Amino acid sequence: MSSTTQTTTRRDVLGASALRPDGAAKVQGRFEFSSDLHAENMLWGATLRSPHPYARLVSIDLSAAYKIVGVVAIITAEDVPGKKTYGLISSDQPVFAQDFVRYVGEPIAAVAADHPETCRRALAAIKVEYEVLSPLTDAELAIQPATPPIHPDGNVIRRQQIITGDQDLQGEIIVEGTYEIGMQDQAFLGLEAALALPDSDGKGIEMHVATQWLHEDQKQIAACLDLPAERIRLTLGGVGGAFGAREDISLQVHCALLALRTSRPIKMQYSREESFYGHVHRHPAKIFIRHHAKRNGEIQRIEAKMVFDGGAYASTSSAVLINGVTHIQGPYRCPNATVVGYAVRTNNPPCGAMRGFGVVQACYAHESQMDKLAAACGLSPVEIRLRNAMVTGDKLITGQVIESVAPVARCIRETDAIALPAPLAKTAHPLEIVGGSGLTSLPHNIVRGIGWGVSIKNLMYSEKFDDFATARCQLKDGVATLKYATVEVGQGFVVLAPQIARSVLGVDEVVLDTVDTGIGSAGSTSASRQTWMSGGAVDGACRLVRQRLFEHVGKKYNIDPLRLVIEDTDVVDMIGDFRISVIEASTGVLIDETFEHHHRPTEELDENGQGNCHVAFAFVAHRAVVDVDVELGLVKVIQIATAQDVGRVLNPIAALGQIEGGIAQGLGLAVMEEIVLDKGKMRNPSFTDYLLPTALDAPSVVAVMIEEPEPQAPLGAKGIGEPPCISVTPAIAAAIRNATGRELPRVPVRPQDICF
C-alpha cells in the first residue's frame, strides 16, 4: 500500500531552488504511480464502451459474459444504487448509459474478473443491441433551434453574452477573422488508475486514485453510491500528470461499485487508447472576431461570436465558456464590446478542463487579430500591443476593474529585449534543421519567422465559487508535520509546502502527511490556484502555529510574545538578546493548528455579461522564432522568449519547469497535437498518431520572471501553471505566418495548410 509520507530536511526556504522530494524516484522509476497499486485478493475491473457516437440502447445481454470462468460481476446502469449521473458543474453524465449512448467511448457496463484478459473476453461477450442514430457533430448546427436535441437538457449548455458600451461604434480601422482551434488532449503520461477497497460492512470504500480533487470525487462517488460522503475515503495515488483531464470522474464510480458488489479490492487501469476515450479533452472552438480601432491602433470595440464544442456531456463547459468570453479582449483595453458565446452538446467526445481553460481558444483568436490590426495600422506587432496594453485599474468588458498587478507592457518590453537566436548556420547539423532526422530540408529551403503572443489569464475559480483550501500544521520537537488534501500532479506543491513551513517556522525538518480526505478540501489542483490557495492555507496554519509557539516561549521565559520573531532556525527577541532554537523551543510541546484559506468572493455575470466574476489575473508575453520549410510545410520552433508576470518567485527551478513545460504543450497545439475526428469517431487515439513534441521539437526557452508581488496573494506569488501554454500557441502561429505569408486561421497548423 502506498504511504506518501515524505521527510525533507534540506534548509530550503522560500526563494530557494529546492528540489522535489519525489524527483529522483520518478527519474529512476521507483515512484509508485496509481497504476502500480496492488492489494491481496484483488480483482480487475474493465469498462465496456460504446462504439457508436449516437445510438439508442435497445438491449444488453450479459448471459454469455457471465459464463466465462473468472468473471465475478458485471454491472450496468441498473446497478447504480444512487444518482445515475455525475458531473462537475451539472450532473448530466451517466455512470453507465441507460437509454442512449452519445459519444464513442461512453461506458455501458463494467466487469470484475480475476485477470485483465478475462475482463477483455467478458467485455467482448457482452451483447449490446443498438439502434444507430445519425450523430450531431457540428457545434454550429447544434445551436440551430431546428436541430433536434441529443440530450433532455438540450444542445446549448450555456449561452453568455457580454454587452457593454456603444453597440454601433464603427472604427476607422476594422479587421476581422474566423479562427478555429482543434481538439487537444492533455496526454498525461500516468494513465488513469485506481484501487478500491470495500469496507467489511459493505457500506463504505477506501479508494486510492490519481485525481485532481479528492473531495469533489468523494462527493460525486458518494452520490452515485448513495452512501454518506465520510464513508468514501480517498487517498491520493501517485499522479503522472493531469492538465485538467483528471478533474472529471473517469473510473472512480465504476471501480467503487465493483468493489462493493464483489466485496473484494478492485483495481482498474486504462490503456492509452482507453484513456483517450475515458477523459475529457480541450474544447475545439470556432471564433469569429472583429476589431474596431482608431487609425493609431487604439482598440475601440470588439465584436465576437464564440462556439465551444462541449461534446456529449457538460463537464465544465459552462465555466470554460465564461473564461472564453471574458478573456476575448486579451490583455488590452477595450471600452465597447458585443460578444456572444455558446457551449454546446454534440456527439463528439466530451470536453472539459485543460490547462488554459477556455482562454487558450480566446487568445489564439485575439492575438491573430492583433497582428492583423498591426498590419492595417502600419505598426509592428510589439507597438500595437504596447499601445493597447492594460494596466492595473483598467476596466474589463465585464465591468470588472483589474486590481491585480498588471505588468503587461513590461512583459512585452522584457520579452522584446531578449536576444534573438543566431541565424541558421549553413553548416547546421541535420538534426537542428526542420525535418530533423527525416533529412528533408537543407538550410536554403528554410525561411525564418518571428511572431508574438500576449495573454491575460484569470486565477482560481470564478463566478461566486468559493474554492477554499485547508491545511493543518503540527509542531513538535522541532519537526513540522503538514497535512492537506492538495493533489500533487507535478506542479510542485510537495516542494513548496515544506519551503513555506521552513520559512515561517524556522524548522528544518518537515514531514508531509498522507494526502487524503482525512482533512478539509484543498480544492482542485487546477486554475493555477494551488500555490495561492493551498500555499495560503499552509502559510496560514504555520503562522497560527508560530503564534502559539511565541506564546509558549513568551510565557516560559517571560517575554512579550509580540517581541518574538523567527530568525533562520531560532526564536529571537527583536529587542533583547534572548535567542533559542526552534527545536529547543518546541521540545515537549505539541502545537496543532488548522487554517482555511478563502479568496475574496466573486460574482456571477448578469445577462449582459457584467460582474466581478474573476478573482485575479496573471499576464505573460511570448515571442516565437520558427524555421519553416515553406515548400514542404514543415516547422521547427527554434526559440521561445517569454517574460511572465509571476508575482514572486518562490522556487526558481520549479517556476522555470512550469514555464518550459507549458511552452511545450502550447507548441503541441500550434503545430501537431490534435484528436482527429471523423463523424464523432477518433481516428488517432494512440501516441503513434496523436503526436506530442519530442526533445527535437522542443525549442530553447529564454524566460524572464517579472516579480511584482501581488498584494492579494498570500505569498505574493501568482499562479504560474497555465499562462506559459496560452499565448505561446498564437505566437508560433504568427511566426509561421511571418515566414510564409499564409493566413493560417486554424491550429494546429498542418503541413498542407502551409504549402498549398
Residues lying near other proteins in the complex (CB under 8 A) are found at 120, 271, 273, 431, 434-442, 445, 631-634, 636, 671-672, 676, 678, 683-684, 688-689, 691, 693-697, 750-752, 755-756
DSSP for 103-126, please give it.
STT-EEEEEEESSHHHHHHHHHH-
Contact 103, 278 (CB under 8 A): no
Q: Name the residue nearer to other proteins (CB basis): 335 or 436.
A: 436
Q: For residue 485, what are the CA distances in angstroms to 310, 516, 530, 637?
A: 29, 5, 11, 39
Q: Name the residue nearer to other proteins (CB basis): 59 or 752.
A: 752
Taking the complex as a whole, the smallest distance from the CB of residue 689 to other proteins amounts, in Å, to 6
Taking the complex as a whole, the smallest distance from the CB of residue 71 to other proteins amounts, in Å, to 18
Q: What is d(CA 246, CA 244) in angstroms, rounded to the nearest whole number?
A: 6
Q: Name the residue nearer to other proteins (CB basis): 239 or 625.
A: 625
Contact 730, 368 (CB under 8 A): yes
Taking the complex as a whole, the smallest distance from the CB of residue 116 to other proteins amounts, in Å, to 11
Q: Is 682 helix (H, G, I), strand (E, B) or coil?
A: strand
Q: Name the residue nearer to other proteins (CB basis): 118 or 441.
A: 441
Q: Is 626 helix (H, G, I), strand (E, B) or coil?
A: strand
Taking the complex as a whole, the smallest distance from the CB of residue 437 to other proteins amounts, in Å, to 5
Contact 225, 256 (CB under 8 A): yes
Taking the complex as a whole, the smallest distance from the CB of residue 155 to other proteins amounts, in Å, to 27
Taking the complex as a whole, the smallest distance from the CB of residue 272 to other proteins amounts, in Å, to 9
Taking the complex as a whole, the smallest distance from the CB of residue 672 to other proteins amounts, in Å, to 5
Cell output for 683: 481516428
Please, which residues bridge with residue 315 across strands?
none
Helix 408-416 and helix 381-388: axis angle, to 10°?
Answer: 160
Taking the complex as a whole, the smallest distance from the CB of residue 70 to other proteins amounts, in Å, to 17
Q: In what order do the strands lie in the sheet with 127-132?
A: 100-101, 55-61, 127-132
Cell output for 622: 511570448
Q: What is d(CA 274, CA 271) in angstroms, rounded to the nearest whole number?
A: 5
Q: Name the residue nearer to other proteins (CB basis): 440 or 594.
A: 440
Q: Which residues, 6+ apart, have CB-to-CB distance to 422 below 8 Å?
A: none
Please, which residues bridge with residue 181 across strands?
285, 747
Taking the complex as a whole, the smallest distance from the CB of residue 693 to other proteins amounts, in Å, to 7
Q: Name the residue nearer to other proteins (CB basis): 314 or 682.
A: 682
Taking the complex as a whole, the smallest distance from the CB of residue 273 to other proteins amounts, in Å, to 8
Q: Name the residue nearer to other proteins (CB basis): 273 or 568.
A: 273
Please, which residues bridge with residue 308 across strands?
285, 343
Whether the link from the prior residue into 198 is cis, omega within 30° of 0, is no
Contact 649, 655 (CB under 8 A): yes
Taking the complex as a whole, the smallest distance from the CB of residue 732 to other proteins amounts, in Å, to 14
Q: Name the residue nearer to other proteins (CB basis): 56 or 120.
A: 120
Taking the complex as a whole, the smallest distance from the CB of residue 670 to other proteins amounts, in Å, to 12
Q: Name the residue nearer to other proteins (CB basis): 25 or 691.
A: 691
Q: Is 660 helix (H, G, I), strand (E, B) or coil?
A: helix
Cell output for 539: 502559510
First vs last Cα of the chain: how many Å apart? 56
Q: What is d(CA 730, CA 331) in angstroms, rounded to the nearest whole number?
A: 14
Q: Name the residue nearer to other proteins (CB basis): 558 or 688.
A: 688
Please, which residues bridge with residue 579 across strands?
572
Q: Name the residue nearer to other proteins (CB basis): 144 or 756.
A: 756
Rounded to the nearest 10°, the torsion over CA 574, 578, 581, 583 is: -100
Q: Name the residue nearer to other proteins (CB basis): 671 or 717.
A: 671
Q: Are strands 232-236 and 205-209 parallel, antiparallel or unpaired?
A: parallel
Q: Name the residue nearer to other proteins (CB basis): 641 or 754.
A: 754
Contact 635, 752 (CB under 8 A): no
Taking the complex as a whole, the smallest distance from the CB of residue 564 to other proteins amounts, in Å, to 58
Cell output for 142: 447544434
Cell output for 157: 449548455
Contact 620, 645 (CB under 8 A): yes
Q: Which residues, 6+ apart, have CB-to-CB distance to 146 below 8 Å?
A: none
Taking the complex as a whole, the smallest distance from the CB of residue 738 to other proteins amounts, in Å, to 20
Q: Name the residue nearer to other proteins (CB basis): 248 or 673.
A: 673
Rounded to the nearest 10°, the torsion over CA 178, 183, 186, 190 is: -170
Whether the link from the prior residue into 748 is cis, omega within 30° of 0, is yes
Q: Name the residue nearer to other proteins (CB basis): 204 or 693.
A: 693
Taking the complex as a whole, the smallest distance from the CB of residue 639 to other proteins amounts, in Å, to 15
Count of beta carbons in the 10 Å neighbourhood of residue 593: 18
Q: Name the residue nearer to other proteins (CB basis): 581 or 684.
A: 684
Q: What is d(CA 648, CA 405) in angstroms, rounded to the nearest whole number?
A: 11
**Cβ density class 464-478: b for 16+ within 10 Å, e for less:** ebebbbbbbbbbeeb
Taking the complex as a whole, the smallest distance from the CB of residue 744 to other proteins amounts, in Å, to 15
Contact 470, 519 (CB under 8 A): yes
Taking the complex as a whole, the smallest distance from the CB of residue 453 to other proteins amounts, in Å, to 22
Contact 25, 105 (CB under 8 A): no
Backbone dihedral region of 577: left (phi > 0), alpha (psi from -120 to 50 degrees) or beta?
alpha
Q: Name the residue nearer to other proteins (CB basis): 149 or 430.
A: 430
Contact 231, 74 (CB under 8 A): no
Q: Name the residue nearer to other proteins (CB basis): 30 or 444.
A: 444
Taking the complex as a whole, the smallest distance from the CB of residue 697 to other proteins amounts, in Å, to 5
